[in-house]
A and B are shown apart, each in its own frame.
Chain A
Amino acid sequence: MFSEISEYFRTEALPHIWCPGCGIGTVMQALVRAIKTLQLDQNNIVVVSGIGCSSRMTGYLDFNTLHSTHGRALAFATGIKAAKPELDVFVVMGDGDAAAIGGNHFIHAARRNIDLTVIVINNSIYGMTGGQSSPLTPHDKRATTSPYGNLERPLQLLAVAEAAGATYGARATAYHNQLLTKVIIDAYNNPGFSVVEAVSQCPVSYGRRNKFKTPADMLRWQKEHGIMKGRQEIGDEEFLIGEIFRAQAAEYTREYEKLRQRLQGGER
Chain B
Amino acid sequence: MSNARLMQGNEACAEGALAAGVRFFAGYPITPSTEIAEIMAEKLPLLGGTFIQMEDEIGSMAAVIGASLTGAKALTATSGPGFSLKQENIGFAIATEVPCVVVDVQRAGPSTGLPTSPAQADVMQARWGTHGDHPAIVLSPASVQECYELTVQAFNFAEEFRTAVIMLMDEVIGHLREKVELRENLAVVDRKKPSVPPDRYIPYVNDESRIPAMANFGEGYRYHVTGLTHGENGLPTGKPEVAGKFLQRLTHKLDPYLDRIQRWEEVELSDAELVIVAYGCTARPVREALGAARREGLKVGLFRPITIWPFPSGEIAKLGGRKFLVPEMNSGQLVGEVERIFGPKNIHRYNRIDGELITPGEILEKIREVMA
Q: A13-B235, A84-B70, A256-B50 are in contact. Are A78 and B59 (CB under 8 A)?
A: yes
Question: Which B residues between 48 and 84 are near A, CB-CB below 8 angstroms?
Answer: 48, 50, 52, 54-56, 58-60, 62-72, 74
Check if B54 sits within 8 Å of A75, measured CB to CB.
Answer: yes
Asked whether A263 lies within 8 Å of B45 as measured between CB atoms, the reply is: yes
Task: State whether A82 touches B62 (Cβ < 8 A).
Answer: no
User: Which 8 residue pairs of A and B lie closest in terms of their CB atoms, listed nearest first?
Assistant: A79-B66, A79-B63, A75-B62, A75-B59, A83-B67, A67-B226, A84-B70, A80-B66
Question: Shortest CB–CB separation between residue A180 and chain B, in angstroms?
Answer: 24
CA gap between A147 and B194 in the complex, in Å: 52
Which A residues touch B115, using CB under 8 A?
none
Stretch in B132-140, B217-225, B340-348 with 4+ CB within 8 Å of A: B217-225
A92 to nearest B CB, angstroms? 13
Please, which residue of chain A has its CB at the minimum distance from the CB of B220? A43
Could you tell me if A58 and B217 are in contact, using CB atoms closer than 8 angstroms? no
B228: Cβ under 8 A from any A Cβ? yes
B24 within 8 A of A: yes
> B89: CB under 8 A from chain A?
yes
Closest to B24 in A: A83
Contact B55–A72 (Cβ < 8 Å): no
A55 to chain B minimum Cβ distance, whole angstroms, is 10
Residue among B45, B69, B217, B225 with the highest chain A CB neighbour number at 10 A = B217
Q: A65-B224, A256-B45, A260-B48 are in contact. Are A78 and B218 (CB under 8 A)?
A: no
Q: Are B66 and A48 in contact (CB under 8 A)?
A: yes
Contact A10 B217 (CB under 8 A): no
In the complex, whether B279 has a CB less than 8 A from a CB of chain A is: no
Q: A84-B71, A107-B55 are in contact. List 10 more A-B contacts (CB 8 A).
A: A66-B217, A72-B89, A76-B63, A76-B66, A79-B69, A80-B217, A83-B66, A87-B218, A263-B45, A263-B46
Residue B233 lies at the interface, judged by CB distance under 8 Å to chain A: yes
Contact A68 B62 (CB under 8 A): yes
Determine the residue in chain B with the shortest Cβ distance to A256: B50
Is A36 located at the chain interface by the 8 A CB criterion?
A: no
A237 at the interface (CB under 8 A from B): no
Q: Give the distance to chain B from A159, nearest Cβ to Cβ, in Å.
A: 20
Count of A-B residue pairs with CB < 8 Å? 138
Contact A75 B66 (CB under 8 A): yes
| 1/0 contact string of A241-262 vs chain B (CB within 8 Å) | 0000000000000001001100
Interface residues on A, range: 35 or more
- 0 or 1 for each of A4-27: is its CB under 8 Å from B? (1 = yes): 000000101100000000000000
Q: A79 vs B100: C-alpha distance in the bound complex, in angstroms? A: 12
Chain A residue contacts of B162, Cβ below 8 A: none
Task: Verify if B129 is at the interface (C-beta below 8 Å from A).
Answer: no
Q: What is the interface of chain B, defined by CB distance below 8 A to chain A? A: 23-24, 26, 45-46, 48, 50, 52, 54-56, 58-60, 62-72, 74, 88-89, 92, 217-220, 222-228, 233, 235-236
B48, B69, B89 interface centre (most CB from chain A within 10 Å): B69
Selected contact of A44 from candidates B48, B66, B218, CB within 8 Å: B218
Contact sample, A vs B, 6 pairs, CB 8 Å cutoff = A12-B233, A59-B236, A76-B65, A79-B65, A81-B66, A83-B23
Residue of B59, B69, B74, B219 touching A66 (CB-CB under 8 A): B69
CB contacts under 8 Å to B, within A213-240, are none
**Knowing A79-B62, A79-B67 touch, does A43 contact B24 (C-beta < 8 A)?**
no
When the two chains form their complex, are residues A64 and B66 in contact, meaning their CB atoms are under 8 A apart?
Answer: no
> Shortest distance in angstroms between B271's beta carbon and chain A's nearest beta carbon?
52
B159 to chain A, nearest CB (A): 15
Q: Which of B24, B60, B218, B233 contacts A46 (CB 8 A)?
A: B218
User: Does B70 contact A87, Cβ atoms closer than 8 Å?
Assistant: yes
Interchain CB contact under 8 A, A78 and B45: no
CB–CB A59/B226 < 8 A: yes
Beta-carbon nearest neighbor of B227 in chain A: A69
A-side contacts of B225, CB under 8 Å: 65-67
Residues in A neighbouring B45, C-beta threshold 8 A: 256, 259-260, 263
A69 B92 Cβ-Cβ under 8 A:
yes
A209 on interface, CB distance cutoff 8 Å: no
| A82 to B, closest residue via Cβ | B50
Cβ contact within 8 Å between A80 and B70? yes
CB pair A59 B222 closer than 8 Å:
no
A69-B50 in contact given A63-B222, A82-B24 (Cβ < 8 Å): no
Taking CB atoms and an 8 Å cut-off, the chain A residues in 27-44 that contact chain B are 42-44
- By the criterion CB–CB under 8 Å, are A43 and B222 in contact? yes
Known: A59-B226, A83-B72. A69 touches B62 (CB 8 A): yes
Say whether B222 contacts A64, CB under 8 Å.
yes
State the CA gap A44–B216 with chains docked (Å): 11
